Amino acid sequence: MKKITTILAMTLLLAACGDKQTEDAAPQPLKSTTETQSKSATSKNVVQEESVVLYNHFSDTDDHVSKGESVPYVYKRDGSLTQFLLKNLEYNQYVKAYSVSKNEKVVMLNFKSSVMKTSLFQGSTGATQTREAIGKTFFANMAKLKTLKFRLNGKQEEWDHMNFTDYSRKDFKLN
């Protein structure tokens, strides 16, 4: 019985020491959105937080979309930047699938056909604001992006107010 008590006590002592070391090595919150955790930290402990800009401020008088909020983004915590942007713009439920080229120069967003039953792409203002919000947000936050492809059920399509086609950076005026 004495041996078991001694073994349990040593196990608790070692576990407590292990917890203390883990707490000391844990990353601390960043003070700046572009700084890394610690200059002396190893590369696997470095967490870089970025700030992404959402173009989600819609004009009440015209179809203009301007910069809205900045949101903190960390890949390890938030996952894919494409998915993160769609979620924060609140369009993720309308996208069936997306793809990003290996060189990050092309992003394809494949919208569900049900999106056409919503106000997002109905009317010239709704279509323009939705296209501008997505386009400006993606081009502002993805430096390598050259082409943003909008598809409806995997196909290029033209509707009255919305073209599901390819867009380039020059199609969106970032302000």
Query: Model's pTM, two decimal places?
Result: 0.69
Mean pLDDT of 101-127: 87
Q: How far is CA 100 from CA 23, 62, 85, 106, 144, in A?
A: 37, 32, 13, 6, 11
Domain residue spans in the chain? Answer: 49-171
* Token output for 54: 């959402």
Q: For the chain, give the percent of residues with pLDDT over 90.
A: 43
Phi, psi of 13 (to 5 degrees): -65, -45
Indicate the DSSP class of residue 27. Answer: P
Mean pLDDT of 53-73: 79
